[in-house]
Structure 1
Amino acid sequence: MYVKGAPCVVFVVLTFWCGFPVFSAGFTTFRNVTPKVVQEKLIWIKGQEEVSLYRIPIISYTSQGSLIAASEARKYSGSDHGPKFLAVKRSTDKGYTWEPQQFVSDDGSIVKDGLNLGAILSDDEKGIMFIFYTMCAHYDHCDTSTTHVIRSYDDGVTWTNSFNVSEQIGTRMFAPGPGYGIQKKLPPHVGRLVVCGHTSKRGMVCVISDDHGETWKNGGYIKSIPFKQPTKAGDFNPNECQPVELPDGSIMINMRNQGHYHCSCRIITRSFDGAETFSFDNLYFDEALIDPACAASTLYHNGVLFFVNAMSTNKRENLTLQWSYNNGTTWSGKLNIFPGYSAYSAMTAFSNSLKYGDELYILYEKGQNSANSMDSLSFMCTTRKDEKSQTIGHLAKDMEMLEMGITWNEFHWLAQDREGWRSYTGALCSSGSEED
């Protein structure tokens, strides 16, 4: 749903109809998926709770069946620099309603280079949630960059104080994600936690843990060219990234091509040893995944590889979901989610063990007037082609409300007031955004 004049971070729910299954190499691949948007809500909105701007959406399922969404609450301006809160929202009903936001970390009021998200990770074996973020990512009035992690042991209800992981992985700038980390489900290294990101002037790198996040060490990397030198347009500079485990146990990394090296498209690589090493022999450019050099998300779910991004060569717009039945060798279909200004996006789905159905959950930045002004963060869900959803009715009510002449100020107020919003739409709405 697009609200004219409304800035937001958007949450979208999609489900998809699956045709016949094909069994191969011990896993099932589904054919003929037909994603369909069934729910969209503004999760964070520019100016909400006196926060200047919400950016950098990340989202994950939990092992107990909840959804956790997080974003940067940029206190005084929309700059990547400056002080921020780490804002978290939790849903226990698959995104239909959201609990009031928590500010689970606060970098102060005078810091010049505040916290930057970030990656969220579910340890399904232990029921622990992790959120990683970086301090001093731009070396603005600070000399040492550090990576921090907070944990939740109660399904995202409460969060610990931050732990400085740089004591274990070093103090080079490491910017996780933005997106989610993974826990390996298949050999090699079953149970390993993997978080990937980028470094200043160095390229893409992963960190790994084999003891459920008690200790972390550096894993494999893809160096930028030139290495340890300032980069410019046209250089090979892998940047923000998202790991995903494929059915053979390998880890695919889908990376932002910061310098538009070779193409305005995504860089892809794979590791076959649990993210300990990466080789240029396994690196390629996926020219089907055109990209303006922006954060994106990928997800392997029920035999299908999904990818969502601002599908444009040079503009942050046209948020589109694509899917592949052969692990990204070819892409078989696409669904345009929002044709307007859109930027960073994140995606998750519940594990099959929870039996929550074929739903994808997307959180993305949604703009009003400019690709440089992502005013809100929106949550979206897709559902099965042959299913009807009450949420469709909710979206119709949303449009009716706006068509009745309710002003943006009234809309903004309603989005912050749960009961007031329900009285108009029967569902919550909120919004958010990032880099850079």
Structure 2
Amino acid sequence: MGFLATLTLLLPVLQVYRGVGADVNSKLQVNPLVVEEQLLWVSQGAAAVNTFRIPLLTFTPQGSLLAFCEARKFSSSDMAAKFFAVRRSVDKGSTWSPMSFILDDGSLVDGLNLGVVVVDELAKSVILVYTWCFHQYHCSPSSVMMVESTDDGLSWSRPRNLSEQLGVKSFAPGPGLGIQKRHAPHRGRLVVCGHGTLAGDGVFCILSDDHGKTWVNGAALKSIPYNQPKQPLDFNPDECQPVELSDGSIMVNVRNQNNYHCQCRMVVRSLDGGKTLPVEELFFDHALIDPTVAAGMLEKEGMLYFTNPASTQQRVNLTLRWSLTNGKSWEKAPLQLWPGPSGYSCMTSLNSSMAEDRKFIFVLYERGHRDSVETVAFAKIHLYGGL
């Protein structure tokens, strides 16, 4: 057989080998660098708003970026009257629309609370799930609510009360991202996870198999003792962020509210599409030290990314970490996004086959000089920019 004939036969094999090698090599060479940064919201710098908190960030199915937060009107308290604020970018975060408000609870002390944003790629919609009257302070009962946009975030539906389907147990989604399952089991399912009240705390998930028309209660990982006052070091899972792994399981990264076992993150997996969170799948990630705060987590092309204030005592040192091993280990050179006071964070990326889009992830997080709630900052991160 001649050289050209042999080469023709080997070419498909070489292409496959080159593709595999490139994928492995790209994972090994991840070295993130912040290439763009902006302040999207500045607390006490806007009319009728005292504090901006609880950042959410997602791409729409059409490729626009949507950034959300709570606009707390009169104070920084969790139980302050609020707007839900949104800004939109059609150029992947380079420029942003002026702030607009989706919802307004008037002067109600315990009204709106964010919340999870979940994108339904199949139905081409964006769903915002939130709580009304979560703390049941001067109002009752607590209700899980949703609004939906089918026009790329330009307009939103009237609120729907999901408690007619789910019951009135206090449930605070997220805060962060929900997921739409891409793999079996239950491909296409919407999964939103969150937590309960401080007494009846734990991780709870709600599920929809019909693009958000109906919802059912799914997995529960309850605190111990459940529905009773907590003591330091009690088992108390709280705010959480799910991601789907390539094997179809759902990994949930959880705030360890009472520092049970460690001052670090809890991690638990669902193997059945969010129906259960078996204790056999629970572990404590000592590498992810944490001062009890909501954190960001993202799966992108077989890599896990994690953001939080990397400290055991204070909300400072907002840090990005990444794992090549589905969270079994983390690379030893994390990227510091902000050294000072910092708090909640949320991450997203654009699901795209375009080579340029595969290079970037995006983070929205709380940061300040004296206090972590002074601003909400946006960062665009080049995954290979530090090479």
> TM-score, with normalisation over the residues of structure 1?
0.81
- Give per-residue Cα distances to partners, 1:227-247, cap 9 Å, x unaligned: 111223211100000000001
For the pair shown, the structure with the greater C-alpha radius of gyration is 2
Partner of 2:153: 156
SS at match of 2:47: helix
Tell me if the contact between 2:129 and 2:146 (Cα under 8 Å) persists in the aligned partners: yes
For 2:318, give the aligned amino acid: L
Identical pairs, percent: 48
Change (3 A) 1:354 1:22: closer
Partner of 1:60: 58
SS at match of 1:362: strand
Is the aligned partner of 1:165 residue 2:166? Answer: no
For 2:341, give the aligned amino acid: Y
Q: Tell me the CA shift for residue 22 of structure 1.
A: 5.1
Tell me, in whole angstroms, the C-alpha distance in 2 between the residues paired with 1:256 and 1:341. Answer: 18
| Residue in structure 1 matching 2:143, options 141, 146, 158 | 146
For 2:84, give the aligned amino acid: L
- Give per-residue Cα distances to partners, 1:412-432, cap 9 Å, x unaligned: xxxxxxxxxxxxxxxxxxxxx
Q: Tell me the CA shift for residue 141 of structure 1.
A: 1.2
SS at match of 1:70: strand
Q: Tell me the CA shift for residue 20 of structure 1.
A: 4.9
The size of the alignment, in residue pairs, is 363
Partner of 1:344: 344
CA RMSD across the alignment: 1.7
For 1:92, give the aligned amino acid: V
Counterpart mapping for 1:30-429 below 5 A: 30-47=27-44, 48-109=46-107, 111-200=108-197, 201-332=200-331, 333-353=333-353, 356-371=357-372, 374-385=373-384
Structure 2 stretches of 5 or more lacking a match?
Answer: 1-19
Tell me if the contact between 1:67 and 1:92 (Cα under 8 Å) persists in the aligned partners: yes
Tell me if the contact between 2:348 and 2:362 (Cα under 8 Å) persists in the aligned partners: yes
Tell me, in whole angstroms, the C-alpha distance in 1 between the residues paired with 2:224 and 2:231. Answer: 10
Q: Tell me the CA shift for residue 50 of structure 1.
A: 2.9
Q: Tell me the CA shift for residue 291 of structure 1.
A: 0.2
Tell me, in whole angstroms, the C-alpha distance in 2 between the residues paired with 1:140 and 1:83. Answer: 12
Structure 1 stretches of 5 or more lacking a match?
Answer: 1-18, 389-436
Tell me, in whole angstroms, the C-alpha distance in 1 between the residues paired with 2:233 and 2:205. Answer: 24
Tell me, in whole angstroms, the C-alpha distance in 1 between the residues paired with 2:326 and 2:358. Answer: 21
Q: Tell me the CA shift for residue 384 of structure 1.
A: 4.8
For 2:371, give the aligned amino acid: S
SS at match of 1:188: coil
Q: Tell me the CA shift for residue 157 of structure 1.
A: 0.7
Q: Tell me the CA shift for residue 278 of structure 1.
A: 1.1
SS at match of 1:168: helix
| Higher normalized contact order (CA 8 Å, seq sep 6+, divided by chain length) | 1
Change (3 A) 1:53 1:310: same
Tell me, in whole angstroms, the C-alpha distance in 2 between the residues paired with 1:387 and 1:127. Answer: 35
Tell me, in whole angstroms, the C-alpha distance in 1 between the residues paired with 2:105 and 2:53. Answer: 16
Tell me if the contact between 1:321 and 1:335 (Cα under 8 Å) persists in the aligned partners: yes
Deviates more, 1:134-143 or 1:193-202: 134-143
Tell me, in whole angstroms, the C-alpha distance in 1 between the residues paired with 2:23 and 2:261. Answer: 35
SS at match of 1:259: coil
Tell me if the contact between 1:116 and 1:134 (Cα under 8 Å) persists in the aligned partners: yes
For 1:180, give the aligned amino acid: L
Tell me, in whole angstroms, the C-alpha distance in 1 between the residues paired with 2:93 and 2:79. Answer: 30
SS at match of 2:32: strand
Tell me if the contact between 2:359 and 2:384 (Cα under 8 Å) persists in the aligned partners: no
Partner of 2:12: none
Change (3 A) 1:340 1:160: same
